[in-house]
């Protein structure tokens, strides 16, 4: 589970770089958002996730992943998904 959070954070930064260099792939972005939503949705209480995210939300989602991972580590929220 921790590795998946790290993987999605890294992938978010990679997508952000691709946008900067005009190599944006909408399908890759949508798959990443869906994976992030699934991972965060497996937490109780479920943290806020941006409605209708687009490429301008990448940094916000990466920081949300980092925040949620920290809250799981501190026992503030519970990850109830499959590890």
DSSP 47: P
> Tokens 């972005």 belong to which residue?
29
- Interval 29-40: pLDDT, tens: 999 999 999 999
Whole-prediction pTM value?
0.91
Residue 42: alpha-carbon gap to chain centroid: 12
Q: How confident is the model at residue 81 (pLDDT cuts 50, 70, 90)?
A: confident
Question: Is the predicted pLDDT of residue 83 greater than 70, yes or no?
Answer: no
b/e map 61-81, b = 16+ CB within 10 Å: bbebbeebbebbeeeebebee
């Amino acid at each position: 589970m921790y590795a998946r959070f790290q993987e999605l954070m890294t992938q978010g930064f990679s997508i952000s770089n691709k946008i900067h260099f005009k190599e944006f792939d909408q399908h890759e972005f949508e798959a990443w958002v869906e994976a992030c939503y699934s991972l965060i949705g497996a937490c109780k209480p479920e943290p806020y996730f941006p409605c209708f995210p687009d490429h301008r939300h990448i940094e916000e989602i990466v920081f949300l992943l980092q925040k949620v991972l920290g809250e799981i580590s501190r026992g503030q929220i519970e990850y109830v998904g499959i590890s």
